[in-house]
Chain A
Amino acid sequence: MTVVTSEMNVGERLDQIAASRRRKLRFLQLTPIALLYFAGLILPYLLLLRMSFNKYDAMLIFKETFSWANYSKLLTDEFYLKIVAETIGLGLAVTLATLILGYPVAWVIVRSKPRTKSLILAAVLSPLLINLVVRTYGWITILGDNGLLNNWIMAWGISDTPLPFSDNFWTVVMGLAHVTLPFMVLSLVSVMESLPANIIEASENLGASTWRIFKDIIWPLTWPGVGAGSILVFSFSISAFVTPALLGGGRVSTISTLIYEQFTFSVNWPLGSALVFLLLAMNMVVILLHSQLFKQDHG
């Protein structure tokens, strides 16, 4: 008996040694990335947070202090409030646009035969592979004052002067919708794929009209996908920089373009940093709001 017990002890000891060796190995494997994230992400973000409480100084760039002045400026000054409102409006408009454009496309994808399905899906996703600047450039060549559309319009004599297709809010909405549509379509496709078998046929059989099938069956069942897609698109849109900067032609201001200005042209780092945390807070609110809505629907 004693022999068996001591053998078991040896086994346990060996297990313990192996476990501690594995812990050491894991520590070695996870330390480098922790260091990188600390130096490349945590420190810079903490520095931004600290900077947002500093004071702007034309000579020194910033002066060390601790005040909420930057935040209160952003939340009271009408100039900044308008930009916040415009950013939110932009996010909402893009979300709505991708929803309206993406819903029928997702539906067609889900209901197509496998070959057609992968073809449409590839077409929807292919812009993801094209550089953002290149895509925006494509829109400029089409919508600019000297662009394709205006060339046609003037050639056909519809108008003598170029029409202002570019450099406005709606151009930016269109450009961002172009960038974010794949996210919306993917979210919708994934819920539509998981609709229960025969659910539409069952509703038809029970006498439901097309509108009622959509309103009472498909829409409520695809709501989680609508929510997931919307939060993706909205967050992306309010944080986007390249599209508003290039397609807005300097005439559309969002929080992102403002951040860029504060850090490059105005060199007002403290205010720019406060803007950063305003943007992060907005993203946070959206995520919380979404999880709250989602819970209610499935509670």
Chain B
Amino acid sequence: MGKFFLNISTFLVLFWLLGPLIVIVGGSFTETPQVIFPPEGFTLKWYEQLMGRSDFLESFIDSLVLASIATTFAVFLGTITAVGLSHEKFVGREVFRAFLMSPLILPTIVTGVALFQFSRIIGLSSNLVGLAIGHTLITLPYVIRTVGAALVNLDPALAEAAESLGARPSRVLLQVIMPAIAPAILVSVIFAFIISFDQVTISIFLTGPDIMTLPIRIYTYIEFAIDPMVAAVSTLLILFSYILIVGLEKIFGLGRVFGGKS
């Protein structure tokens, strides 16, 4: 009895969790002017219509560019920082580490507002700079944590062995440490990219006429209309993150992927 109840409720919860996704994907192929489920007929016209929308295409490019910039900065800076934190202890290291993790704990809307107001007051004209800083800040903690964990698992004797063979610190870093933590860096790249690409709350304050990310484009669009074209772009987005995650999973295994994130 108890077991039956547990299984049923789990099934219902999973159905509820996945329901909207199923409706979106199914609804993107409907011939009706509204999303209905199960879809009526089968058509790709919403995808065709989407391809004709230059604003959505531009936003897609904007998101790619922004995510690439943020990922580059975050992974570069985060890796150097993680290496810096991995040396012997120094006074205040744990406090500093906690401080570096703070963008995860601070409400994203607050970070968004703070950056928004700051860029207005200092008269920052480019929205891209503000967005890049915001996205880099929000992805850095993941990079520091993932690369930091790999460094903790690294045998300290490795660096010492290289040093004893006469390698300079820069050579130790580039030729000994970096290759050993390369998998973690790759995971960080994909994580940072996904997080930046999916970011909404910070972006909403910092987008402007020169740059508008895809999630914000969808956001402003569905405030006015909810036709199946949004279902089409949403389906493509779902497919996009699915491909990234399956790639990640194929390379590293599901446990490690989610283990790193939680």
Assuming the A-B contacts A104-B9, A178-B17, A259-B113, are A242 and B99 also in contact, with contact meaning beta carbons closer than 8 angstroms in the complex? no
Q: Considering the complex of A and B, which 10 residue pairs feature the smallest CB-CB distances, nearest first?
A: A138-B20, A29-B84, A239-B107, A44-B114, A44-B118, A134-B234, A141-B35, A30-B84, A108-B10, A129-B241
For chain B, the count of residues having a C-beta within 8 Å of the partner chain is 81
Stretch from A45-53, A75-83, A88-96 at the B interface? A45-53
A 243-264 contacts with B by CB, 8 A: 246, 256, 259-260, 263-264
Chain B residues whose C-beta falls within 8 Å of the C-beta of A32 in the assembled complex:
77, 80-81
Chain A residues whose C-beta falls within 8 Å of the C-beta of B140 in the assembled complex:
33
Asked if residues B103 and A41 are in contact (CB atoms below 8 Å), the reply is: yes
Chain A residues whose C-beta falls within 8 Å of the C-beta of B102 in the assembled complex:
41
B 1-51 contacts with A by CB, 8 A: 2, 5-7, 9-10, 13-14, 16-21, 23-24, 27, 34-37
Chain A residue with Cβ nearest B83? A29
Q: Please report the C-alpha to C-alpha distance between residue A235 and residue B226 in the assembled complex, in whole angstroms.
A: 30
16 A–B contacts, CB within 8 A, in A order: A33-B77, A41-B103, A47-B118, A101-B13, A104-B6, A127-B21, A132-B200, A137-B226, A148-B23, A148-B36, A151-B34, A242-B201, A242-B219, A256-B109, A269-B117, A279-B110
Q: How close is B228's CB to chain A, nearest CB, in angstroms?
A: 9
Chain B residues whose C-beta falls within 8 Å of the C-beta of A197 in the assembled complex:
none
Interface size range on A against B: 35 or more
Q: How close is B101's CB to chain A, nearest CB, in angstroms?
A: 11
Stretch from B131-139, B148-156, B178-186 at the A interface? B131-139
Q: Please report the C-alpha to C-alpha distance between residue A122 and residue B21 in the assembled complex, in whole angstroms.
A: 14
Q: Please report the C-alpha to C-alpha distance between residue A43 and residue B96 in the assembled complex, in whole angstroms.
A: 17
Assuming the A-B contacts A36-B133, A104-B9, are A263 and B200 also in contact, with contact meaning beta carbons closer than 8 angstroms in the complex? no
What is the interface of chain A mostly: helix, strand, loop, or mixed? helix
Q: How close is B212's CB to chain A, nearest CB, in angstroms?
A: 13
A 38-93 contacts with B by CB, 8 A: 39-41, 43-45, 47-48, 51
Chain B residues whose C-beta falls within 8 Å of the C-beta of A26 in the assembled complex:
84, 87, 90
Q: Please report the C-alpha to C-alpha distance between residue A134 and residue B103 in the assembled complex, in whole angstroms.
A: 24
Chain B residues whose C-beta falls within 8 Å of the C-beta of A104 in the assembled complex:
5-6, 9-10, 13
- Contacts A47-B114, A142-B20 aside, 19 further interface pairs with beta carbons under 8 A come to A22-B88, A30-B81, A37-B99, A40-B134, A41-B103, A45-B114, A120-B14, A124-B17, A127-B21, A131-B200, A132-B198, A133-B219, A141-B226, A148-B35, A148-B37, A241-B109, A242-B201, A263-B113, A279-B110
